[in-house]
A = this chain, B = another copy of it.
Amino acid sequence: MRLLDALTSLKRAFRRGDYLYRSGEPFRSLFAIRTGFFKTQVLHEDGREQVTGFQMPGEIIGLDAISSDAYTCDAVALEDSEICEIPFDRLEALSRELPTLQRHLHKIMSREIVRDHGIMMLLGSMRAEERLAVFLLNLSQRLSARGYSPNAFHLRMTRQEIGSYLGLKLETVSRTLSQFQELGLLSVKVREVEIMDMLRLRSFVGAA
C-alpha cells in the first residue's frame, strides 16, 4: 500500500469559500478530504442551486466527473480544509494491479449511489421535521464515527444551504429547528447544536 501513499501525496489547502472545482472544469482527479468540510452543489441554468452533499474528512469527492470527463457540480470549502488530490488515471492503473483497491473504489462509488437513493427518499416523501431529523442524526452519526461527540456539534453550513440540501426554504429550516428546541429535543444557538433527546429525535423519522 505504499503505492497508494504515492498516489495521495498531492496535498492542497483551501480557505473557507474556496472552490475545490467548478462545474464544467476538465476532470483529472478525485479528492479525499483530510481535514475540513465541503459542500457540493449543482447549479441549474436558471440560477436555482441544489446542494447535493456535505462532505467531511475521509470522504471522496469528484466521482460525478468520471462519466463525462468534466466536473458536473461545484465543490466549495465550508471551512479551512486540506485535501489530497488523487489523479484518476493513476488510481485506475493501480487498481488494475490491486484487486483490493479496485473493490474499494467500486464500493465507494456504489455507496454514493445508495446515499443518493436515501436522499431521494427523503426529498420525495418526508415532511419537513423528518428531513431535519434525518439530517441531524446523519451528521451526528458521521461526526461520532470520526471521534467527535455525537451530541454536540457545530453546523458548518447556513440555513440556506441546509434548506437547499433538504428541499426546504431557509425559513422552514429555522422554524423547524426552533420547534425541535421547544419540544426539548435539542438546543440550537445559531450554528451550535446540542441533541438532548436522541431517541425522541429518532422516533420522529418514519412517524406519520
Most buried by B among A48, A107, A123: A123
Cβ 8 A contact of A120, one of B52, B65, B72, B111 = B52
Q: Does the CB pair A110–B50 fall under 8 Å?
A: no
Chain B residue, CB-CB nearest to A27 = B110
Chain B residues positioned under 8 Å from A124 (CB to CB): 50, 123, 164-167
Cβ 8 A contact of A116, one of B99, B102, B116 = B116
Write the residues of chain A forming the contact surface with B, with a CB cutoff of 8 angstroms: 42, 44-46, 48, 50, 52, 63-68, 72-73, 92, 95-96, 99, 102-103, 105-114, 116-121, 123-125, 164-167, 206-208
Q: A50-B125, A96-B102, A105-B106 are known contacts; what are 9 more A-B pairs with Cβ within 8 Å?
A: A50-B121, A65-B110, A66-B109, A67-B114, A72-B114, A72-B117, A92-B102, A96-B99, A119-B120
